[in-house]
């Protein structure tokens, strides 16, 4: 898949491909990232990309024309059609379901705003979707774009090694939080590893992990349970967890 990043700091985003899973996805040819800077499409000696907002107020608004030319250049770099996704706190929340949807696209363009935002006419004319990564304020869309790239890259077929795939199961597959994990030593001054994990009883271990995932989701993010498709066995496990953890 191909992702184009339109940003005043495109390297900020493309650098996520320098390490780890995203880097490997790129090395394996599963992902191509391309950065585009609207300043390279700005006119005049000052290569201006922003101006003061009509109506007054603080901050600057990104100009239509450098962004429009930059988007056109990004689109033209590949014949496949590309959705334009604007990262902004006004967008719909990014979810794993949305990540899965994007991961199936052959390409898309991530548009990052800085300053107070982008001239609304450019947004209306060019943007297909607006996404937010949470209810807090970032100085620009670049960190959010890096989040999208990471989440989408790891879902590309072949991006994860077997050991990493397992970690994906819980949240990605059924919208529950992950169970706790332990490694050596068994006995430590901070506590002992739950006995079932050393029992060699694979069904028992799977059951315990499922119960922990259900229980932690109930304790920390109960609203996720409304969306999760729980079996009758899940409900029993959760009731038992609740009884033990009132």
What residues make contact with ligand 6GU under the rule CB under 6 A?
87-89, 91, 132-134, 136-138, 140-141, 144
Residue pair 51/96 in contact (Cβ under 8 Å)? The answer is no
The secondary structure of residue 28, as a DSSP letter, is T
Cα 230 from Cα 225, distance rounded (Å): 8
Annotated binding residues for S-adenosyl-L-methionine = 113, 133-138
Residue with smaller CB distance to ligand 6GU, 62 or 159: 62
CA separation, residue 23 to residues 4, 29, 31, 108 (Å): 16, 10, 9, 18
Active site residue 169: yes
CB of 230 to ligand 6GU, least distance (A): 30
State the catalytic residue, choosing from 154, 209, 210, 216.
154
CB of 113 to ligand 6GU, least distance (A): 6
State the catalytic residue, choosing from 169, 195, 227, 239.
169
DSSP reduced 3-state for 5: strand
Alpha carbon 47 to chain centroid, angstroms: 32
Active site residue 89: yes
CB of 96 to ligand 6GU, least distance (A): 16
Residue with smaller CB distance to ligand 6GU, 112 or 176: 112
Q: Supply the DSSP string of 74-133, one letter for each residue.
A: HHHTSSS--EEEEEEEEEEEP-HHHHHHHHTSSEEEEEE--TTEE-HHHHHHH-SEEEES
Catalytic residues: 89, 116, 154, 169
């Amino acid at each position: 898949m191909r992702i184009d990043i339109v940003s005043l700091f495109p390297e900020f985003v493309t650098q996520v491909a320098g390490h780890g899973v995203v880097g490997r996805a790129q090395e394996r040819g599963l992902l191509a990232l391309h950065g585009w800077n609207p300043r390279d499409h700005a006119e005049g000696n000052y290569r201006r990309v922003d101006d003061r907002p009509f109506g007054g107020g603080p901050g600057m608004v990104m100009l239509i024309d450098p962004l429009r030319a930059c988007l056109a250049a990004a689109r033209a770099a590949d014949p496949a059609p590309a959705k334009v996704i604007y990262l902004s706190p006004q967008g719909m929340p990014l979810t794993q379901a949305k990540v899965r949807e994007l991961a199936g696209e052959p390409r898309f363009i991530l548009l990052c705003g800085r300053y107070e935002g982008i001239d609304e006419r450019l947004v209306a004319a060019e943007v297909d979707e607006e996404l937010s990564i949470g209810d807090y304020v970032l100085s620009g869309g670049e960190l959010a774009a890096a989040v999208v790239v990471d989440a989408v890259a790891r879902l590309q077929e072949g991006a994860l090694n077997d050991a990493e795939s397992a970690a994906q199961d819980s949240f990605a597959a059924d919208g529950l939080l992950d169970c706790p994990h332990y490694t050596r030593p068994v006995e430590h001054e901070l506590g002992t590893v739950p006995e079932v994990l050393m029992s060699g009883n694979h069904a028992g271990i799977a059951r315990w992990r499922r119960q922990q995932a259900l229980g932690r989701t109930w304790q920390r993010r109960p609203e996720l349970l409304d969306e999760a498709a729980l079996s009758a066995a899940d409900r029993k496990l959760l009731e038992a967890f609740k009884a033990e953890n009132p």
